[in-house]
Structure 1
């Protein structure tokens, strides 16, 4: 451990001083992630989480450094500081000297060092064969037929053959029968290795698990059982079934309303990127416009999705040897996100982009777009009226994009289930968001990889966004609440073992479920307020930053802002959207409490079920 005695207590709020021009270090830099301890006289002790170095600084210097937590050039950092604090515009040389001092003392992290740390070390790793492509389908036989035909066309084009399993969650017996016919005809007519897994096959696995663990029958039924009379969305039920079916293996999933035809991302680039930036967006006027203005690719989506799934990040970077890892790959990555980024960080999830319907419930996120996407959206009123209600767009990455965390899209997704992936809630929407959160909770050093291409997502009938959503505040939902609890609590879990981390989270959920009515109600409400405050602040920043945007764009942002602001100052009875409007708070809190208990019980037995399925596959 090295302790630095330098005292960077310069007060930048004072008037200008004469300072010799400082040499400006090149490359991308980010201020280190530090633990902060307050000291007398507005001073702070900073302790680097990365190097354990220590330094004492003034509050003013620390406030400046907090603006420099993302990897950017020092010139960009200085420009950001000037923007946030115009009074420092005349003090560039002084700020540069502080930067150089912190670089010397290793409190500024160089992206160049990250490039060196992620170079391939030539480690030998075992890669299991791909189990197959699992298709989630639910009461959409026509769209299922369209998808599996596109599999046959893709195999014919690429000359490769894979195994497909149609996992049927249809509630209608008629649709289940149609799905079986679709699978049988495609298998026969196109020689596709495709199999149907319906309620009967699923029930056999449930029966086997209950026989092995009769004491956990109720939880197993909750996780995996289908109930005809239950009208709740149950996308996670099939998700859990697939994770047990593939225990110890790698697999891909795809939804039935996709088409297996690869198209290159707009502005496609053969470059690597490691960041948390937003997905890129390009709008199209309609489906015909999208198909005409995008480029069909010769990439085999299944092959490329599975090639590096489960590999370490250094091996994956080496695999894309034609694309060199450079400093720019880390632009805008936060310094707090590199603590768990190592050469041996595993790629547990892969994802491609979406052409067509993005699958999101709300349209509010389009008002937070930047760059060319924003320009396209607001270019003229006629186009704006179409685009803001349209669900024809590109959503994804233009580069090979490694992410420390990811929000999953309903597209072709790869899962490395060689080590135990977590279950998700069988009921309610946002099951994919909860799952992604739990993957990171169990495996903090894992990463996801998005490819610079996408598949068509064309639901039938076509959907449109309801503009009335502009008058509704941000909502979290019961599974969003569970995900937020995981995010907030796992910082206090220091275990390395994934099973221990899963147990820690289960106990956290159980502890919250046992809270009294007032405490749990306050927790749900404060979590919702936190989400709404974040949205309100971001929308206000958008209005303040982009004052030159057209009034029709600003008017919609103000509608969202008003809805969010009103929800903050008026006590609402509706805490979660999964219950009928007008339901008493007690009913809503009871639902959350029940979900906390049921999901915690599921997490506790999940390793038993997963290992049993792995050993008996």
Structure 2
């Protein structure tokens, strides 16, 4: 056996220059290429469709300029990757300057200016603050107390709607009384929607759409059958969407509390990084968690409503400016949200107090200060892995394609899709459906957090170390993302109809095909988790042994699940289910969601035509 080693040393004059933080940076436009000859090609800018003829050597140079860097940095990189140009620095720079003139390389200042040209649009009126509640009167009492203090302080006079999904009569009575007392002390207009009120709405909609009666019932009302006793937050979500159709609204859960707080490391402006490191702080107890950061002195609803329903570019001219220096090192092809005419359909908050996650996998994706705080001492690390007393969110306003948490405010002036009425992950599923129906839709997460106090302690660490079992709504979310970019219809209702057919197509596959699809999905989900965590382990060379041991335990449990020959069970299904049961359960999930998406646009349009009448009739 023989081996040959070839070494190519970068030329001495190609050393990367010291970057001037104030110097302009440039990045190459994304585009499509077609060959014209062995020497030339045509490059069509994806954003504008403008064609340019160039040599393949120039195209190769453009490929090395995808990130926002100074021209000198681009020249050095091109020379290091193309040895034939090692002694032609001036020639390379002249070519790049010509690309700037032809607008094939865009400057950071031009990118910021282009983003800010979006015109501000008129925003829809605010309908109400909706509160999802379910058999937790003590939690609801704390939330209403904080809202009463908000009303006393800001005299906003907002309308509040309690969506009560309780089943215990004692809870129903107490929560109705709490709402009445809140109305008496604040003078605010309130509405209580329990089972009787939901039934009244369902009956009214069923008279208008008799062919959709079963779907309406499934979307909005708790079913007593065993198959629907999963978490039912999606029912309240769907009801809020119908009762606010044509307007904007806010959504709270009964275990949340005002006021909003900003962390000490919050920054002004907009973060262009589509995947920034998550930010977290870990506190010793709930008192410390509530004292972390500083209170927001603005009306929290008004703060978010100022952004909700507005063009993202218009916001960069006012509340959330984009600094051109923040673009340094960003790959232009990853800035799709900022390159397109994006509209903020929802705003997002961070959390202080208890985490709003089912597991703690996110803890092992932290970086920098947050990760060091997580693992600083063994005793605090063990406490931190339960995520009981934290601050979690972003340090700077961040636009996202898909969010994993329930948004704070929504722009429901244009058709927003429904979500699955049952199962956890209804928020992430809704976000993916919204992005699918409205390709220009983004969720803007702001660097403020709302208090979350869970009703009881949760053992997240045990779930975290177990093999990842994605829930049904996560499967649906990921299946939707695979459809992004495949359809061109401008009408969101038509897009939802398309996806309903896609779901029915999979539901109509053979049992073997459905089982294979589930196995493929679970393999991908677990392999992706393992890959991400392995990179974290390799990079965190300074990590304490207890963090490394837990990270490797997560990798090991998922690797075992990846290789195990067991039924492809999603997290919501019984643990003793077999292959045939998984295939059958998948059909039920797909058909139920397809029916919902098929009928939802007509239901939403009818609710929008009714306006406040639908709510006022209760």
TM-score, normalising length: structure 1: 0.87
* Map of 2:571 onto structure 1: 577
CA RMSD, Structure 1 to Structure 2 (Å): 3.6
* Counterpart among 492, 497, 512 of residue 491 in structure 2: 497
Residues 155-554 of structure 1 aligned to structure 2 (within 5 Å): 155-229=151-225, 230-276=228-274, 277-320=276-319, 324-330=321-327, 335-339=332-336, 341=338, 344-401=341-398, 403-410=399-406, 413-467=408-462, 469-470=464-465, 472-554=466-548
Please list the CA deviations of residues 551-606 of structure 1 after superposition, one character each: whole Å capped at 9, or x if unmatched. Answer: 11111111111112222222232431111112102112211111111211211111
Question: Equivalents in 1 of 2:351, 2:197: separation in Å?
Answer: 31
Following the alignment from structure 2 to structure 1, what is the Cα–Cα distance between the partners of residues 161 and 461?
A: 35
Deviation at 1:94, TM superposition (A): 7.9
- Secondary structure of the residue aligned to 1:272 is coil
Counterpart CA distance in 1 for 2:108 and 2:435 is 23
Paired residue total: 595
CA 1:237–1:81 in structure 2 vs 1: closer, same or farther (change >3 Å)?
farther
| Distance change in 2, residues 1:31/1:343 (3 Å) | closer
Identify the range of structure 1 (353-362 vs 473-482) with the bigger mean alpha-carbon deviation: 473-482
Is the CA contact (8 Å cut-off) linking 1:574 and 1:581 kept in structure 2? no
* Gap change, CA 1:106 and 1:542, over 3 Å in 2: farther
Q: In structure 2, the residue corresponding to 1:492 is in which secondary structure?
A: coil
For the structure 1 residues 28 and 225, does the alpha-carbon distance in structure 2 shift closer, same or farther, using more than 3 Å as the test?
farther
SS in structure 2 of the partner of residue 318 of structure 1: coil
8 Å contact from structure 2 (residues 131, 163) kept in 1: yes
1:564 maps to 2:558: yes
SS in 2 for 1:420: coil
Distance 1:13 1:27 in 2: 34
Which residue is equivalent to 2:131?
135
Change beyond 3 A, Cα 1:383–1:490: same
How far off its partner does 1:190 sit?
A: 3.6
The 2-side partners of 1:580 and 1:92 are apart by: 67
Contact kept, 8 Å, 1:540 with 1:561, in 2: the verdict is yes
* Structure 1 contact 285–390 (Cα < 8 Å) conserved: no
Aligned ranges for residues 585-600 of structure 1 at < 5 Å? 585-600=579-594
Aligned structure 1 segments of 4 or more residues deviating by more than 6 angstroms: 20-25, 36-41, 43-46, 72-82, 85-88, 90-102
With 247-256 and 444-453 compared, the bigger mean Cα shift is at: 444-453
Distance 1:48 1:236, change over 3 A: same
- Give the 3 Å change call, closer, same or farther, for CA 133–333 of structure 1 in structure 2: farther
CA distance in 2: counterparts of 1:245 and 1:287, whole angstroms: 35
Contact 1:209 1:220 in 2 (8 A): yes
TM-score, length basis structure 2: 0.86
Cα gap change, 1:319/1:554 in structure 2, threshold over 3 Å: closer, same or farther? same
1:318-346 per-position Cα deviation (integer Å, ceiling 9, x unaligned): 342xx643214446765344445457422
- Matched residues in 2 for 1:176 and 1:461: separation? 20
**Residues 200-221 of structure 1 deviation map (CA, whole Å, 9 limit, x = unaligned):** 1111111011101111212222
Residues in 1 aligned to 2:47 and 2:282: alpha-carbon distance in whole angstroms? 42
| 2:148 equivalent in structure 1 | 152
Offset of 1:244 from its aligned partner? 0.9
Could you tell me how far apart the structure 2 residues matched to 1:343 and 1:492 are? 17
Cα distance in 2 for residues equivalent to 1:408 and 1:360 = 9
1:473/1:462 Cα in 2 relative to 1: closer, same or farther (>3 Å)?
closer
Q: CA separation in 2, counterparts of 1:457 and 1:447?
A: 24
Residues 263-310 of structure 1 show CA distances to partners (whole Å, capped at 9, x for unaligned) of 112312222223322432111122122123332231211111212211
Q: CA deviation at 1:92?
A: 12
Deviations 1:486-535 (A, max 9, x none): 11112211222212222221111111111111222212211221111111
Partners of 2:170 and 2:71 in 1: CA distance = 64
Determine the structure 2 residue equivalent to 1:607.
Answer: 601
Report what 1:7 is aligned to.
Answer: none
